[in-house]
């Protein structure tokens, strides 16, 4: 085990590890940690690629029966990397590749056989929020929040939010929060159907992992095929909405408001 691992989940057996993702074994449960805490686990292109690839590792892991997904540090994920704003505006190949990754991310999380339990340790924003809504069970720390900020930074919420939110809550509520980017506090997320359990932050991993072990102890074929049946609703939503969503999000990068949003964010971070 490397001495410089940044994950808080020390003491468990390290398995396959990407540079920015830590995967550890706790019996039949795999604890997957987005491990770029200094960047608030924002999805750079590298992390995006690694995150898509890790689900293939999970699928090949014959001993895995459930996954806990969390973030290192004080955020679950800050969403897309602001450093990529200008790159995706001017580089069409980079933009196309990014949106292909976005489609693969949605597909991989819908299709992964074992249940995925989110342990939302801090803010889950933008793409980070979408990832939470692609999980099967969601534990959220009392101080954490969800926010899909795509529209607020001049992007269509096309890379997953329009697929998942209407499946979890009402269409009116989905419109309210996807159009504004307003934050959902932990208790509000539970009330709206975007999370299952609010827990104190210091018990988050413990309780999420215990729940994952409960799922892992159940008959695997029954668990996995029931999940697959339930995810037919997300698959149907993806067929209806994801292609159009990604196409219109592609166009967002060409709008003057997108360029202005990037400049505003860069100025804010100076």
CATH of the domain at 56: 3.90.226.10
Residue 3, in any domain of the structure: no
What's the number of domains the chain is made of? Answer: 1
Residue 2 has pLDDT above 70, yes or no: no
Mean pLDDT along residues 10-22: 66
Say if residue 14's pLDDT is above 70.
no
Q: Quick one: pLDDT at residue 17?
A: 60
Residue 261 lies in a domain: yes
Contacts of 150 (CB under 8 A, 6+ apart): 126, 156, 157, 158, 159, 161, 178, 181, 249
- The reply to whether 116 falls in a domain is yes
**161: containing domain:** 13-204+217-269
pLDDT of 1 above 60: no
* Strands laid side by side in the 137-141 sheet: 13-14, 21-26, 29-34, 66-71, 116-120, 137-141, 197-199
How far is it, in rounded angstroms, from Cα 155 to Cα 200?
33
d(CA 101, CA 111): 15
* Count of alpha carbons within 13 angstroms of residue 39, beta-carbon side: 16
| CA-based end-to-end distance of the chain | 37
Instruction: Find, among 201, 190, 132, 203, the residue nearest to 161 by Cα.
Output: 132
Separation in Å, CA 8 to CA 82, 116, 130, 230: 25, 19, 23, 32
pTM here? 0.91
**Tens digits of per-residue pLDDT, 190-247?**
999 999 999 999 999 999 999 999 999 999 999 999 999 999 999 999 999 999 999 9
Is 24 a member of any domain?
yes
Residue 5 has pLDDT above 50, yes or no: no
CB contact set of 269 (below 8 Å; sequence gap of 6+): 82
User: 251 pLDDT exceeds 50?
Assistant: yes
Supply the pLDDT for residue 16.
Answer: 60
pLDDT of residue 4: 31
Q: Is residue 239 part of a domain?
A: yes
Could you tell me the CA-to-CA distances from 149 to 51, 100, 127, 129, 220 in Å, in that order? 20, 20, 9, 9, 36
Per-residue model confidence as pLDDT tens digits over 76-129: 999 987 667 776 777 788 889 889 999 999 999 999 999 999 999 999 999 999
Chain-centroid distance, C-alpha 217: 25
* Tokens representing residue 227 in the block: 């999940």
pLDDT digits (tens, 9 = 90+) for 136-177: 999 999 999 999 999 999 999 999 999 999 999 999 999 999
Question: Does a structural domain hold residue 200?
Answer: yes
Is residue 209 in some structural domain? no
Torsion of CA 54, 232, 130, 168, to 10 degrees: -140
- The owner of tokens 């989110």 is 118
d(C-alpha 62, C-alpha 78), whole Å: 32
* Position 8 confidence tier, pLDDT thresholds 50, 70, 90: very low
Tens of pLDDT along 20-56? 999 999 999 999 999 999 999 999 989 999 999 999 9
User: What was the pLDDT predicted at 260?
Assistant: 86
**Contact (Cβ atoms closer than 8 angstroms) between residue 70 and residue 35:** no
Q: Is residue 2 part of a domain?
A: no
Task: Give 147 or 253, the one with higher predicted confidence.
Answer: 147
């Amino acid at each position: 085990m490397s001495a410089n691992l940044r994950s808080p989940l020390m003491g468990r057996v390290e398995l396959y590890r990407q540079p920015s993702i830590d995967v550890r074994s706790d019996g039949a449960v795999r604890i997957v940690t987005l491990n770029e805490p200094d960047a608030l686990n924002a999805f750079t292109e590298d992390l995006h690629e690694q995150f898509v690839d890790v689900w293939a590792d999970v699928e090949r892991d014959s001993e895995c029966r459930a996954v806990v997904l969390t973030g290192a540090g004080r955020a679950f994920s800050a969403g897309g990397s602001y450093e990529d704003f200008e790159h995706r505006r001017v580089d069409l190949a980079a933009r196309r590749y990014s949106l292909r990754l976005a489609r693969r991310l949605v597909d991989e999380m819908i299709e992964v056989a074992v249940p995925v339990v989110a342990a939302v340790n801090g803010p889950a924003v933008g793409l980070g929020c979408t990832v939470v809504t692609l999980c099967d069970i969601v534990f959220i720390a009392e101080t954490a929040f969800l926010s899909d900020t795509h529209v607020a930074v001049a992007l269509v919420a096309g890379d997953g939010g329009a697929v998942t939110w209407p499946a979890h809550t009402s269409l009116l509520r989905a419109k309210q929060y996807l159009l504004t980017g307003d934050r959902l506090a932990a208790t509000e997320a539970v009330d709206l159907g975007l999370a299952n359990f609010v827990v104190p932050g210091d018990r988050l991993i413990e309780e999420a992992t215990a729940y994952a072990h409960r799922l892992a102890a159940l008959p695997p074929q029954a668990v996995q095929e029931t999940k697959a049946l339930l995810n037919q609703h997300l698959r149907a939503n993806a067929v209806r909405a994801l292609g159009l969503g990604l196409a219109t999000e592609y166009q967002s990068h060409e709008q003057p408001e997108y360029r202005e949003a990037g400049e505003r964010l860069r100025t804010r971070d100076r």
